[in-house]
């Protein structure tokens, strides 16, 4: 895709940064929320952009003692274009980044440096970046209350849930396939893989149902050599229904690359 600027918002998206708590207390777990809204007619990308595009990335520099986790992205839309299948957002996407405060805190405030990078595309594509300093009050003796707003409730409602929250939800590796099982009265089941070092996904087959219980097989390649001796991370999103507001569940497995044999597409087990 060509990269050129067109009239509109710089980077063709607007970023707002907030938290889901009123203030921070000792050892409190909370989220920094990065809400990115593309200009009308444009779209940004999921953490796996698909066959073209570039992932939306968030970097947070936190004060000493704070631990920053991996961003949690809402379920993306699926775009089918001449470049292939891609994943992203035409509407506002609120990305939640988990943060844990240190065991002891002092009254005052904490500054978080939040850098958001994205690619916005329409007929052309534009790289965007936003740098924000988020200042949050800190107290020494008590945790902050959850912040309440309609926007926050809406953002939370479309976040993926752990696979264990799905009735019968389980995932395992069988041969050269990821097998995901569960139960749902909706029979539109899909999987969006997030490729990591040494892990490559292929298009999944049709889920097999017995009444409402299903098993979805996702062919994959596991190559420990490409993981550099680190554990293989198998991650993705199980989707139910076709709308982005329909349920989705995070699938996460870790495989020891030192003991795992090479499984390529079509390998015999």
Instruction: Give the residue extent of every domain in the chain.
Output: 10-157, 161-255
The H helix count followed by the E strand count for the chain is: 1, 19
- Do 10-157 and 161-255 show the same overall fold? yes
Contacts of 16 (CB under 8 A, 6+ apart): 34, 35, 37
Domain range 161-255, CATH class: mainly beta
CATH ID of 10-157, from 2.60.40.1250, 2.40.50.430, 3.30.2180.10, 3.30.365.10 = 2.60.40.1250
Yes or no: say if 55 and 29 are a contact pair by the CB < 8 Å rule.
no
C-alpha to C-alpha distance for 154 and 157, rounded to whole angstroms: 5
pTM (2 d.p.) = 0.90
At residue 269 the predicted structure's pLDDT band, cuts being 50, 70 and 90, is very low
Q: Which of 20-24, 255-259, 264-268 has the highest mean pLDDT?
A: 20-24
C-alpha to C-alpha distance for 58 and 63, rounded to whole angstroms: 16
pLDDT at 8: 59
Helix (H, G, I), strand (E, B) or coil at 269: coil
At residue 257 the predicted structure's pLDDT band, cuts being 50, 70 and 90, is low
CA distances 118 to 51, 56, 57, 125, 220, Å, are: 16, 5, 6, 10, 28
Beta bridge partners of 57: 117
């Amino acid at each position: 895709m060509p990269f050129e600027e067109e009239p509109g918002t710089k980077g063709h998206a607007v970023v707002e940064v907030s938290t889901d708590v009123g203030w921070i207390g000792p050892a409190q777990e909370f989220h920094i929320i990065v809400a990115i809204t593309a200009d009308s007619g444009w779209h940004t990308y999921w953490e796996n952009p698909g066959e073209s595009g570039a992932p939306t990335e968030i970097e947070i520099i936190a004060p000493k003692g704070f631990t920053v986790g991996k961003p949690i992205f809402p379920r993306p839309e699926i775009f089918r274009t001449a470049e292939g299948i891609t994943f992203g957002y035409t509407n506002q996407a609120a990305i939640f980044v988990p943060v844990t405060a240190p065991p002891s805190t002092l009254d005052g405030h904490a500054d978080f440096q939040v850098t958001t990078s994205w690619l916005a595309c329409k007929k052309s594509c534009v790289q965007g970046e936003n740098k924000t300093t988020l200042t949050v009050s800190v107290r020494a003796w008590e945790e902050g209350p959850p912040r309440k707003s309609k926007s926050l409730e809406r953002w939370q409602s479309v976040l993926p849930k752990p696979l264990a929250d799905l009735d019968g939800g389980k995932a395992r590796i069988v041969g050269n396939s990821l097998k995901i099982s569960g139960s749902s009265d909706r029979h539109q089941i899909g999987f969006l893989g997030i490729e990591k070092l040494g892990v490559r996904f292929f298009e999944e087959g049709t889920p097999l149902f017995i009444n409402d219980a299903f098993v979805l097989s996702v062919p994959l390649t596991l190559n420990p050599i490409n993981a550099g001796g680190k554990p293989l991370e198998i991650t993705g999103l199980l989707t139910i229904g076709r709308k982005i507001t329909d349920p989705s569940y995070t699938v996460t497995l870790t495989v020891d690359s030192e003991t795992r044999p090479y499984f390529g597409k079509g390998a015999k087990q």
